């Protein structure tokens, strides 16, 4: 079943909006991580509080929305979920990114809580959260490139499905 043109455009607009928003929020989160590393005590505390709030209420929400709208696009368009390698790779990378994010956020909350209680050198020792958002940003950009360029290559399932559809049309 495929979506009609109007619904497809609406779903595509939603998917692009939340996906690009996710990338933008990861960049903002990364900037807060840098501020936590380089900033004074008050800045580091504020940065960790910001990372906790943005992480849970914006990054996680956009990650889940991106995953759901991506599934909707795959299942409701000719691309399908398992027909093309680029769709499959995008799905796997998005699922893994979302899972890592969800598993990492309790640590961010604990660090944000610790930042409110620590002083001086102990607060400096917290550092910032740089590795997770940096790697996450690279993965999200790879997904974005896959979705824009749509490299050729059908899965075995996609080839069988295409062949079956061709036989059905010839009848």
Q: What is the pLDDT of residue 41?
A: 84
pLDDT digits (tens, 9 = 90+) for 28-55: 999 999 999 988 888 999 999 999 999 9
Distances (CA, A) of 144 to 43, 52, 163, 169, 170: 32, 25, 29, 34, 37
pLDDT digits (tens, 9 = 90+) for 98-124: 999 999 999 999 999 999 888 777 777
Q: What is the pTM of this model?
A: 0.90
């Amino acid at each position: 079943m495929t979506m009609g043109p109007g619904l497809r455009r609406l779903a595509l607009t939603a998917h692009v909006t939340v996906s690009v928003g996710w990338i933008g929020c990861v960049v903002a989160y990364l900037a807060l991580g840098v501020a936590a590393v380089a900033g004074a005590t008050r800045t580091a505390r504020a940065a960790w509080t910001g990372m906790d709030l943005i992480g849970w209420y914006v990054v996680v929400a956009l990650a889940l929305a991106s995953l759901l709208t991506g599934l909707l696009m795959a299942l409701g368009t000719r691309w399908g979920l398992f027909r093309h390698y680029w769709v499959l790779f995008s799905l796997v990378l998005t699922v893994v990114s979302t899972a890592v994010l969800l598993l990492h956020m309790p640590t961010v909350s604990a660090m944000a809580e610790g930042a409110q209680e620590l002083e001086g050198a102990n607060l400096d020792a917290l550092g910032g959260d740089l590795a997770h958002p940096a790697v996450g940003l690279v993965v999200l950009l790879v997904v974005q490139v896959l979705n824009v360029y749509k490299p050729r290559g059908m899965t075995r399932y996609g080839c069988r499905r295409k062949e079956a559809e061709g036989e059905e049309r010839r009848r």
